[in-house]
Amino acid sequence: MTVKEFITSGVIETYVLGMATAQEKQEVERMAAENPEVQAEIEAISNALSEYAQMHEMAPPAGLEEKIWKTIQASEIEKTAEPKIVAINQLPKDTFFKPWMAAASILIIVGLGSLNIVFFNKWKSAEKQVIALNNEKLQLVQENQIQRTSLEETKEELAFLSANGTKAIPMKGLPRHPDIAATVFWNSLTQQVYLTTGNLPIPEEGKQFQLWAIVEGKPVDAGVFDISKGKTRLQKMKNFAAAQAFAVTLEKQGGSTTPTLEAMVVLGNI
């Protein structure tokens, strides 16, 4: 963006009105530091708005000027009033309150005051620690939950793989993709079908792999599946009571009703 385009983009007005996002703010301040024109534009807009504000001028009531001046002076005195403690020695001797009492009470007050500050700071930092620990705990609980679920799934998978009747059916790459392989696990007793995706690649956008069971010579849809890198989990597919072979084809997202035979990637006979 050229400086001129930047100036006409409207972002400076937004900035001066305090409506800019953090990112816009940073951008405007950077541009202003680099370009005097941008800086001048910021000033021109601020000045126009200042003039706008000044058009709403209204006379404050008479007497307010003096009242404010007194308040200001009082606040100045407050600031310089601390050494007054010296006056204690000048207390009349015959008062019941002895100077040491006053001194002691001041010490007590000051002591209590500083204790308050100490306790307040301790309390603040303790509060922060509690919050941090709580967050940590929450995170650990969540992580634990994830681990547990994962362990449960692994147990189920292991049970399935070692169950009576489970067969591994390796599917080999067809001549066009000789290196690709995937495996179907099928249990003829429970009819369950699981799949590991082996080294099937991640398909292009809009495409999805689909598993087919060949039943009595005809391909029957066994479900679509996704490939996620680094995951070796078994994927549950549709159940089958009988099949002669399993095959994977690349189909459009969501799968097809009949397989595209030329897009067949792997095939395994039982």
Nearer to another protein, 30 or 124 (CB): 30
Nearer to another protein, 18 or 175 (CB): 18
> Measured from the CB of residue 26, what is the shortest distance to another protein in angstroms?
15
Q: 75-98 as b/e, with b when 16 or more CB fall inside 10 Å?
A: eeeeeeeeeeeeeeeeeeeeeeee
> Measured from the CB of residue 235, what is the shortest distance to another protein in angstroms?
45
- How many Cβ atoms from other residues are within 10 Å of residue 222's Cβ? 25
Nearer to another protein, 1 or 85 (CB): 1
Phi and psi, residue 75, nearest 5°: -70, -30
**Interacting residues with another protein (CB under 8 A):** 10, 13-14, 16-19, 43-65, 67-72, 75-76
CB 220 within 8 A of CB 231: no
> Measured from the CB of residue 32, what is the shortest distance to another protein in angstroms?
10
Distance in angstroms (rounded) separating the CA atoms of residues 94 and 262: 115
Distance in angstroms (rounded) separating the CA atoms of residues 120 and 126: 10
> Measured from the CB of residue 73, what is the shortest distance to another protein in angstroms?
9
Nearer to another protein, 18 or 92 (CB): 18
Amino acid at 203: P
